[in-house]
A = this chain, B = another copy of it.
Amino acid sequence: MGSLFTNDYSETCRKEILDAIAAVGCGQNRGYGLDRHSENAEKLILKRFGVDDGSVFFTAGGTQTNMTVLSFLLKPYEAVLACNSGHINVHETGAVEASGHKVVTVPGRDGKVLPEEIEAAVKRHCDEHMVKIRAVYISDTTEVGSVYTESEILKIREICDKLGLLLFLDGARLGVALTCAANDIKPELLGKICDVFYVGGTKNGLLFGEAVVFKDKALAEEFRYHVKNRGAMLAKGFVPGVMFERAFTDNLYFDIAADTNRAAKYIGDNLRGKVEFLSEPVTNQIFVIVSREKGEALMREFGCELWEDRGGSLVVRIVTSFATTKDDCDRLLGFFNK
């Protein structure tokens, strides 16, 4: 099987990550994330994101994280607002609803929630016959590969403050978001304006694992009870601890992301003018509009996923990962040059 452009979670992990696990050997660690590696990883992450008095918890995957955090933040009659394309709305098989909460949706634009949509939705939900919107869910990158600008995210924070809402950022692909050319958000800003966000490991070169960051320790009080209650507490919590400790040492986390973006940029730059993009690619997801024949070949030969069937043409998604090589890219470009 040649290399594929299916997604960014097809390969095990970066070598440094596996080496870090191996380096632990059979040394003993406290269970449930109370070990020294997890503690150190917490410190490194808090520092990198400019959080002074927060907390970090490690979970196994994205849907689990979204559901665990949101069901912790919300009372039974409270809801989270997301845009239609939001992962929690579309691709989590109702996990947030299964935890008891409605996802109130707005159209958004380019995968991003608009501040005015938040205000209008909260205004519309005016009494006890409707859910109470209490949190806003955004993702960076969004599900369509776009990124928020500093100005956009600051406006969302502003409206959240005005309306008394919590802001939760899904960072499954936070690495490629913060290292792409289109980004002007500093990591330190996120630690100031998101009540909770998570730093994705699964899609950024780790074996698995996400790091949930609470801006304020106080908000995270008893979160460990909730994590366990949701089945999200790992007995060997030190395993993601070790991986995140390594990822946030020597800037590895962002280096991995930068490599991932670099491969995508190389493809994008070489395709520009030759193929139509659904939108200008900025991170590691490139959506190309091609003929049905070409699209089907892309899916068959490169494992690309179909994004949209437009009848005559197809929108197909190309994704790079930490493991994508220049050879992989050239082979893909060769396909387009045929």
Quick check: is A43 within 8 A (CB to CB) of the other chain?
no
Does residue A98 face the partner (Cβ distance < 8 Å to B)? yes
Q: Which residue of B lies closest to A61 (CB)?
A: B234
Contact flag A207-B28 (CB < 8 Å), given A101-B97, A129-B93, A231-B63:
no
- Tell me the nearest residue of chain B to A89, going by C-beta: B102
Question: Are A231 and B232 CB-contacts (below 8 A) given A79-B94, A97-B101?
Answer: yes
Whether A235 contacts B61 by the Cβ 8 Å rule is yes
A120 within 8 A of B: no
Q: Is A38 an interface residue (CB 8 A)?
A: no
In addition to A76-B94, A208-B236, 5 A-B residue pairs with Cβ atoms within 8 Å of each other are A10-B31, A12-B21, A12-B24, A12-B25, A76-B226
Q: Does A186 count as interface, using CB distance less than 8 angstroms?
A: no
Which residues from chain B contact A231 at a C-beta distance below 8 Å? 61, 63-68, 92, 95, 230-232
Query: Please, which residues of chain B bring their CB within 8 A of the CB of A234?
Result: 60-61, 202, 208
Considering only residues 146-185 of chain A, those with a C-beta below 8 Å from chain B are none
Chain A residues touching B, majority SS:
loop
Which of B27, B77, B94, B236 is A93 in contact with, Cβ under 8 Å?
B77
Stretch at the interface among A1-9, A264-272, A283-291: A1-9
Give the total of A residues in contact with B, Cβ under 8 Å: 77
The closest CB in chain B to the CB of A208 belongs to: B236
Give the docked Cα–Cα distance between A303 and B29 (Å): 11
Bound state CA distance, A29 and B13, in angstroms? 12
Contact of A230 among B98, B226, B323 (CB under 8 A): B98
Residues of A that sit less than 8 Å from B by CB: 1, 3-4, 6-7, 9-12, 18, 21-22, 24-32, 60-68, 71-72, 75-77, 79, 90-95, 97-103, 128-132, 202-203, 207-208, 222, 224-236, 238-239, 242, 303, 323
Q: List 7 A-B contacts (CB under 8 A).
A: A9-B236, A10-B30, A12-B21, A61-B233, A75-B226, A93-B128, A98-B101
Residues of B within 8 A of A64 (CB): 231-232
B225 touches A93 (CB 8 A): yes
Q: Which residue of chain B lies nearest to A22 when distances are taken between CB atoms in the complex?
A: B18
Contact (Cβ within 8 A) B63 A72: no
Query: What are the residues of chain B within 8 A of A208 when measuring CB–CB?
Result: 60, 208, 234-236, 239
Q: How far is the CB of A68 from chain B (nearest CB, A)?
A: 7
In the bound complex, what is the Cα–Cα distance between A7 and B238 (angstroms)?
Answer: 14
Contacting residues, chain B, for A67 (C-beta < 8 A): 231
